[in-house]
Amino acid sequence: MNPFVPKKFKVPLKLETQHFRLRMLTVNDVVKDYDAVMTSVQHLKSIWPGGTWPEGLTLEQDLIDLGWHQKEFQKRTSFAYTVVTPSESKVIGCVYINPTSKRGYDAVAYLWARQSELAGGLESRLFSALREWLAKEWPFKKVAFPGRDIDWKQWAKTPDEKR
């Protein structure tokens, strides 16, 4: 797969706010990432309709997934960011920025926050910061946020670009 950002584009390494930091997800995050995922199973299953992830996820499988995300980031084919507390003591979510073939969009972004952080509004703050960051710092014309700014059914019905 070809990179989906221009070769000259400098991919942002992080986004920092007073509440969280986004930075590249790597295999070094596996223990904290696994904890965040496994303590958020019900929430994660509610985000992606019909999905079964993370049912049956093992620490080893999470390590493989993180390695895959890290390699895709390095190859510039997709970008996965871990969301951590400013002190980096805890993973509190994740952001995925992917290419899409859906007509009218040049990228698709997904995010989730740790279940224990939902009541404090982290997911909505994360969504707002991500939307602003993508508009300001990234080369995309139109990013889709399925389940957030476009209904999942509508997203599924959006036709692919003709190639």
- Say how far apart CA 85 and CA 120 lie, in whole Å: 14
Average pLDDT rounded to a whole number, residues 109-119? 96
More confident residue, 49 or 27: 27
Walk me through the domains of the chain, giving residue ranges and CATH numbers. 14-155 (3.40.630.30)
Report the pLDDT value the prediction gives residue 50, as an integer from 0 to 100.
81
For the chain, give the mean pLDDT: 94
Cα-to-chain-centroid distance, residue 91? 13
| pLDDT given at position 2 | 56
- The H or E element spanning position 143 is strand 143-144
- In this structure, what is the dihedral angle of CA atoms 26, 35, 99, 147, given to the nearest 10 degrees? -160
Q: What is the pTM of this model?
A: 0.94
Radius of gyration of the chain, Cα coordinates, nearest whole angstrom: 15
Would you place residue 51 in the very low, low, confident or very high pLDDT band (cuts 50, 70, 90)? confident
Q: Looking at the DSSP assignment, which residues form a beta bridge with residue 143?
A: 107
Per-residue pLDDT band for 137 (boundaries 50, 70, 90) equals very high
Statement: residue 14 has pLDDT above 70: yes
